[in-house]
Amino acid sequence: MEIKKLPKSQVEIQISVPTAEFQKFIDGAAEELSKDLKIDGFRPGKAPRNVVEQKVGAEKILAHGAERAIKKTYVDAITKNKLDTIGEPKITITKIAVGNDLEYKAVAAVMPEVKLSSYRKDVKTIKKPEAEKVTEGQIQKEIEAIQKSRAKLVTVARQAKKDDRVEIDFEVFADGKLIEGGAAKNHPLTIGENYFIPGFEDQLVGMKEKDEKEFELAFPKDYHQKELAGKPAKFKVKMSLVQEKELPKIDDEFAKNLGKFENLAAFKKNLAEGIELEQKNKNEEKWRAEAIEKIAAESQIELPDMLVDQELEKMMAEFEQNIAAMGLQLETYLENIKKSKSEIAKGWKETAERRVRAALILKEIAKAEEIGVPSSEVEEEMNRVLAYYKSVPNMEKNVDMERLYSYAKGIISNEKVFKLLESL
């Protein structure tokens, strides 16, 4: 056995299985294959070797024997040498024949060595953002947003104006043809929110119910559908409904309807505390991100491609969940933006590398500072996650408990590391 270090946290293990040992694996392979054969005059697994060879072929027995030998000797090699490998190795057989040694090499990614910077000094150079005082303007903005969300819709027989909620039938033509997805009936929108291309909603101002209108606009040059970007188009619109938003009055009664608040002043106080907490959390996240970036810049880590690829897969799964939450399918979304999964992943690679580097640094600091996580704390975090899963149909029974344990332990350990860094 020979072990050689390769770039990007990989190792090459060259293994030779002696002839006598390899023959045992070949014999075992013949016996195993014979169990699946129906041979007249013999019980499954009891047929002589030469009969089995006639049925399945000597090459198949040899290949299966090599597979069994590699599976066993590779695990023995990484266990004996205490190699913390990641994922499946790439196996290349260099010598195989009956009556000879089996020789092969395995290239595997291993957990990288992390040479930490002087992180205790590094974090002292990161200035903690000062908490900003919550202003009356911020509070008022939040209240107005809540007020709009609780507006009543009243159908009106007048011309549409900005902030009205309307429903329209429309058709969009480019080069004289209806574009894909360019027609809808009773489509709802609020004039002024600018969900359509620039200028479209301005054309709706002044239209009354049953009014029809035709106009031309050009798609923006950076429009996501490249075949339409910068192109002129003809629009046909019919106004189906005009509704104005009747806003509730902001007073003590308004506050009482939002929760257990005695009056508007109590609600404003609660809102100010919420904004303050949100700002505090943002400042904390900003400081933590800068601290890890600083430590990472001063530390030495050779990232294995496999860890980065795994992180990219995780990011893609998160992205797919977010797309699904908006009621879309990933394939449809990718088709609309004219990109493939691999193109998107390529753009995320730097972020994935940053996330992997941060995770490895946090793990190494926890090790250096002897930060432990009691099983009681892990179980508490697991129960919190499982309580959430109970609300998602069929999710709880599909949870991988081993992975959940590792996830929960990692979350708690990372939080303890950050608390330590903040205390410095």
Mean pLDDT of the chain: 91
Q: Does residue 316 carry a pLDDT above 70?
A: yes
Q: What is the pLDDT of residues 137-175, one digit of tens each?
A: 999 999 999 999 999 999 999 999 999 999 999 999 999
Q: What is the pLDDT of residues 237-286, one digit of tens each?
A: 999 999 999 999 999 999 999 988 999 999 999 999 999 999 999 999 99
310 and 290 share a domain? no
* 415 alpha carbon, distance to own chain's centre: 20
42 and 77 share a domain? yes
pLDDT band, residue 360 (cuts 50/70/90): very high
Last residue of a domain, one of 299, 330, 361: 299
Classify 210 in phi/psi space as left (phi over 0), alpha (psi -120 to 50) or beta.
left
Label residue 375 exposed, middle or buried (CB < 10 Å: 0-12, 13-18, 19+): exposed
CA distance 392 to 131: 37
Contact (Cβ atoms closer than 8 angstroms) between residue 25 and residue 66: yes
Contact (Cβ atoms closer than 8 angstroms) between residue 22 and residue 102: yes
Q: Does residue 132 carry a pLDDT above 70?
A: yes
Question: Given this model, what pLDDT does residue 4 score?
Answer: 94
CA distance 28 to 33: 9
256 and 236 share a domain? no
SS3 106: strand
**Which run of H or E residues covers position 12?**
strand 10-17
Q: Does residue 23 carry a pLDDT above 80?
A: yes
Q: Which of 11, 118, 124, 114 is nearest to 356 (CA)?
A: 114
Question: Given this model, what pLDDT does residue 120 score?
Answer: 94
Q: Does residue 310 carry a pLDDT above 70?
A: yes
- For residue 71, the domain's CATH number is 3.30.70.1050
Average pLDDT (45-56) is 74
Q: What is the pLDDT of residues 274-287, one digit of tens each?
A: 999 999 999 999 99
306 and 278 share a domain? no
Question: Given this model, what pLDDT does residue 41 score?
Answer: 64
Taking CB atoms within 8 Å and a gap of at least 24, the contacts of 89-92 are 89/13
39 and 121 share a domain? no
Q: Which residues contact 150 (CB under 8 A, 6 or more apart)?
A: 247, 248
Q: Taking the CA atoms of 358, 361, 365 and 371 in sequence, report the sign of the dihedral they define.
A: positive
39 and 140 share a domain? no
Q: Does residue 396 carry a pLDDT above 70?
A: no
Please state, as a whole number, how many other Cβ atoms lie within 10 Å of the Cβ of residue 41. 7
Last residue of a domain, one of 246, 276, 291: 246
Question: Given this model, what pLDDT does residue 392 score?
Answer: 67
Q: Does residue 337 carry a pLDDT above 80?
A: no
Q: Which of 284, 292, 288, 408 is nearest to 359 (CA)?
A: 292
278 and 338 share a domain? no
Max mean pLDDT range (45-59, 127-141, 202-216): 202-216
Question: Given this model, what pLDDT does residue 403 score?
Answer: 85
- For residue 194, the domain's CATH number is 3.10.50.40
126 and 205 share a domain? no
The angle, 0 to 180 degrees and rounded to 10, between the axes of the packed helices 19-34 and 49-56 is: 70
> Considering only 27-36, 288-297, 406-415, which range has the smallest mean pLDDT?
27-36
Question: Given this model, what pLDDT does residue 114 score?
Answer: 93
Average pLDDT (58-78) is 94
CA distance 115 to 368: 11
Question: Given this model, what pLDDT does residue 45 score?
Answer: 60
Question: Given this model, what pLDDT does residue 177 score?
Answer: 92
273 and 306 share a domain? no
DSSP for 234-268 reads EEEEEEEEEEEEEPPP-SHHHHHTTSS-SSHHHHH
* Count of structural domains, the chain: 4
Q: Which of 155, 144, 242 is nearest to 190 (CA)?
A: 242
Question: Given this model, what pLDDT does residue 156 score?
Answer: 96
Q: Which residues contact 61 (CB under 8 A, 6 or more apart)?
A: 26, 29, 30, 33, 52, 53
Amino acid of residue 301: I
189 and 90 share a domain? no
CA distance 86 to 111: 7
| % the chain with pLDDT above 70 | 96
310 and 413 share a domain? yes
pLDDT band, residue 38 (cuts 50/70/90): confident
Question: Given this model, what pLDDT does residue 394 score?
Answer: 66
Q: Does residue 40 carry a pLDDT above 70?
A: no
* 274 alpha carbon, distance to own chain's centre: 28
401 and 310 share a domain? yes
Rounded alpha-carbon distances, angstroms, from residue 392 to 103, 308, 318: 51, 30, 16
Q: What is the pLDDT of residues 80-125, one digit of tens each?
A: 999 999 889 999 999 999 999 999 999 999 999 999 999 999 999 9
Q: Which of 252, 247, 269 is nearest to 144 (CA)?
A: 247
Supply the DSSP symbol for 226: T
Residue range(s) defining the domain that contains residue 221: 152-246
